[in-house]
């Protein structure tokens, strides 16, 4: 089974801090994704990476950056955290190499910015 592991289930940070969310997948997947999930808004794509060191903005990239130095690891960075970034963050991976590949999700990091 594919396993996508997010380093923290819960995280509390302060406004203005630099925050790192880490995600690791164990299936040698090409693609990795970061989403945020908010009640009534569904899942919204923040950033997408289709290869090491490659990234593409999603629908809501403002205030976020990402890093993918190794194939299995994809990091989401909040450069200067703000209260409106309090949310559930979900990481996912997929096999790549064409369309219609299922995305496999981690169990999420619930981030609170105080």
Partner 1 sequence: QQQVKQSPQSLIVQKGGIPIINCAYENTAFDYFPWYQQFPGKGPALLIAIRPDVSEKKEGRFTISFNKSAKQFSLHIMDSQPGDSATYFCAAERGGSEKLVFGKGTKLTVNP
Residues that bind partner 1 in the complex, under the rule CB under 8 A: 4, 31, 33, 40-45, 48, 50, 58, 90, 92, 94, 96, 98-108
Instruction: Give the nearest distance from C-beta 36 to partner 1 in angstroms.
Output: 11
Q: Which residue number, 12 or 15, has a Cβ lying nearer to partner 1?
A: 12
85 φ/ψ angles, rounded to the nearest 5 degrees: -100, 5
Q: Which is nearer to partner 1, 31 or 75 (CB)?
A: 31
Q: What does the block give as tokens for 68?
A: 């993918």
Task: Give yes or no for a contact between 47 and 64, defined as CB atoms under 8 angstroms apart.
Answer: yes
Burial-class residue 18 by CB neighbours within 10 Å (0-12, 13-18, 19+).
Answer: exposed
Kindly tell me which of 8 and 50 has the beta carbon lying closer to partner 1.
50
């Amino acid at each position: 089974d594919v396993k996508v592991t997010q380093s923290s289930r819960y995280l509390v940070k302060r406004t203005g801090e630099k925050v790192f969310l880490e995600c690791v997948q164990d299936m040698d997947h090409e693609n990795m994704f970061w989403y945020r999930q908010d009640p009534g808004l569904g899942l919204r794509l923040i950033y997408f990476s289709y290869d090491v060191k490659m990234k593409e903005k999603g629908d809501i990239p403002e205030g976020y950056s990402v890093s993918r130095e190794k194939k299995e690891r994809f990091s989401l960075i909040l450069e200067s955290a703000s209260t409106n970034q309090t949310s559930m963050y979900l990481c996912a991976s997929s096999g790549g190499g064409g369309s219609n590949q299922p995305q496999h999700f981690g169990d999420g990091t619930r981030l609170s910015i105080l």
